[in-house]
Chains A and B, each alone.
Chain A
């Protein structure tokens, strides 16, 4: 039993990583209707910024807010400089832009920081707490805690501030929002900035677990897509729940379903994406898009 619980805890640990990245994916999608393929790479490069700051002598807890601020500004800049020019273009064009960004950011990180693994400071204490025969790492608890706090803050922002109201208006009906005098450009920039910040947080949190190198987020992104699809691409709560489910499902399938084993583990999130799209395309927590005929 404790073995099973241990596997579940492993799954939750992995799931919290996917959840944090899925949260960033969902943020951008909610406001702009596009899926940002470069989200993982942006998180990765933010993590390098944090690493560089720490390596040049800044204490971690100061480097973190500085990194988040830089990422926020960076996300807004990307929206303004790369996405805005193709705003009205078909979705395919925007997707290609984000794929291009993915490749560019990855190569740039390699060029600047090389592909050797960097040691990233662990913000949480080492070791683990034993609970009913199960080891839970402090880092796992830390990641889950931070993801929960971020989710709470986003909730407050969206539901209880004027900015949040404006953002929701843009998400619900861009045309009407624009007609009622909301400056769309600013809201979209804000959405990208927020997503980049959440992504940066995700990168910084997982870097001590995954080890920092330019391809750190490549694998995690696939799982984050599965998480966002499962939870619903327009629901932050769904993204987090989806992340945890995907993490646990993947770990348990790998450990207990004989023919899956470690070899086919990667197939689990893809299977989840497929089943969700067939059965409930809007995701567990998402709202179906209703269009007037």
Chain B
């Protein structure tokens, strides 16, 4: 039968892929670091691989292809920042930045492969950044064994901060638990008796945010009355949305990635009998998610953010935004500066600049220690009131956010920036 043959075909394909992966994995298992360089003086014995007085070499792993490649443009923002600093500021502390970008297609095994390449062949000083929780989780053991700094990973999982086994890895953006606290705080004030329906992606990301939210509303009159999850392989979330509508909740918490975010917003707009307050998580709060749904259908949707939106006219005269736009035009003419991901890249790169400036020793150990003691470090692309803070018991650089509401054709900030750590205490594992 024809179907029998397909099973065989699939099995053969799977075996082929497995063989390929093994082969590539083996080929990269070359003897590591034959030339481990180290420093003298006060920094004696520390690693100086990838850094000299004149240069510093960084490597980033982004999904330039595959399902998550919308995020790949973050590397444009990052490399534009470094090009700008190299050309117009003489580099970082006199060191020109060389930035090597590799593509993992959002596949963890590929990310491991690329991390090895960056560390063993390119001999980078630090891996800045890895993107996505799966890829970052796949490489952090390796990078920590190799004692290579992995600062400011591009994912909001809370485990980067709660973990104590990986001192070389550090998060950056507000973690999902912190974000969920923003919404909890908002509801406590606006709808103290809210009945909340939740749509969430069935993975670490979705569960992190949902778990944080439930924790944060404990003891209040806010209740979660319905939860529906989806798999990233589902074609659509419309059935889940129908079930959620049955709950007649007055708030919908939409914890999704972009395509599903659009679907959920559209399903909500289409249902005339259910009009909950719609909160969409920041992962899907990009204008590119709302536009396909139609701006008229997403008025009043609420989210939270922490960096300046390049599409927001209130920053048109902002000095940093002007520098950013000019640099993007000059060094990345093909990229659209209005896309939030580019501004994100710029913001995280300038955060790394501050951390590199703060190193006591120009070594890998120096960077590892510097990112662990950031004190009120202002980064101009972040919102006023948001600063980087870390310490011995605080491994979450950004925990302050501000709410936004969609009005007209853009997000409008409202309320005050909220330090979620101060309000709710440290995030624990």
A positions within 8 Å CB-CB of B: 3, 6-7, 10-11, 13-14, 17, 29, 33-35, 91-92, 95-96, 99, 107, 110-111, 114-120, 126-128, 135, 137, 209-220, 222-223, 229, 233, 250-251, 254-255, 261-263, 265-266, 277, 281, 289
Contact = CB atoms under 8 A, between A and B. Distances in A.
A10 B239 contact: yes
A91 B5 contact: yes
Nearest to A99: B13
A272 to B, nearest CB: 13
Contacts of B3: 229, 233, 277, 281
B65 A263 contact: no
B427 interface: no
B67 A95 contact: no
Contacts of A3: 246
A17 B263 CA distance: 15
Contacts of A277: 3
21 contacts: A14-B238, A14-B239, A17-B236, A91-B5, A110-B69, A115-B69, A116-B258, A118-B292, A126-B270, A210-B236, A214-B67, A215-B259, A223-B235, A251-B239, A254-B239, A255-B243, A262-B243, A263-B231, A265-B234, A266-B231, A281-B3
A219 B234 contact: yes
Contacts, number: 130
A120 B292 contact: yes
A110 B202 CA distance: 25
B292 A119 contact: yes
Given A92-B5, A119-B291, A210 B263 contact: yes
Interface in B113-147: none
Looking at B68, B292, B293, the one whose CB has the most chain A CB atoms below 10 A away is B292
Interface in B65-87: 65-70
Contact of A218 (B9, B233, B238): B233
B298 to A, nearest CB: 12
Contacts of A229: 3
Contacts of B258: 116-117, 213
A35 B6 CA distance: 8
Interface in B184-239: 202, 228-231, 233-236, 238-239
Where chain B touches its partner, the secondary structure class is: helix
A128 B65 contact: no
B22 to A, nearest CB: 20
A217 B67 CA distance: 12
Given A7-B242, A128-B272, A219-B234, 17 more contacts: A3-B246, A17-B236, A29-B2, A92-B9, A96-B13, A99-B13, A110-B69, A114-B69, A119-B291, A128-B270, A210-B235, A211-B266, A214-B67, A223-B235, A263-B229, A263-B231, A266-B233
B385 interface: no
A218 B288 CA distance: 21
Nearest to A6: B242
Contacts of B234: 219, 265-266
B69 A262 contact: no
A219 B235 contact: yes
Nearest to A93: B9
B9 A211 contact: no
Interface size for chain B: under 10, 10 to 19, 20 to 34, or 35 or more residues? 35 or more
Contacts of A33: 2
A54 B271 CA distance: 27
A266 B202 CA distance: 12
Nearest to A208: B266
B164 to A, nearest CB: 31
B240 interface: yes
Interface of B: 1-3, 5-6, 8-9, 12-13, 65-70, 202, 228-231, 233-236, 238-240, 242-243, 246, 258-259, 262-263, 266, 270-273, 288-289, 291-294
B9 A116 contact: no
Nearest to B71: A115
A197 to B, nearest CB: 21
B240 to A, nearest CB: 5
A35 B8 CA distance: 13
Nearest to B236: A210
Nearest to B292: A119
B9 A14 contact: no
A91 B2 contact: yes
Given A120-B292, A209-B236, A209-B238, A114 B6 contact: no
B67 A215 contact: yes
A263 B233 CA distance: 11
Contact of B1 (A10, A116, A281): A281
B2 A117 contact: no
A116 B288 contact: yes
A115 B2 contact: no
A14 to B, nearest CB: 7
A117 B233 contact: no
A207 B228 CA distance: 23
A269 to B, nearest CB: 11
Contact of A95 (B9, B230, B239): B9
B74 to A, nearest CB: 13
A35 B70 contact: no
A224 B291 CA distance: 29
A117 B257 CA distance: 11
Contacts of B294: 119
Contacts of B65: 107, 110-111
B145 to A, nearest CB: 33
Contacts of A254: 239-240, 243
Contact of A211 (B2, B240, B246, B262): B262
Contacts of B259: 117, 210-211, 213, 215-216
Going nearest first, the 5 A-B pairs with the smallest beta carbon separation are A119-B292, A219-B235, A95-B9, A220-B235, A115-B69
Nearest to A92: B9
B5 A233 contact: no
A72 B187 CA distance: 53
B234 to A, nearest CB: 5
A262 B230 contact: yes
A3 B68 CA distance: 36
A99 B17 CA distance: 13
Contacts of B236: 14, 17, 209-210, 219
Nearest to A276: B3
A261 B234 CA distance: 13
A185 to B, nearest CB: 21
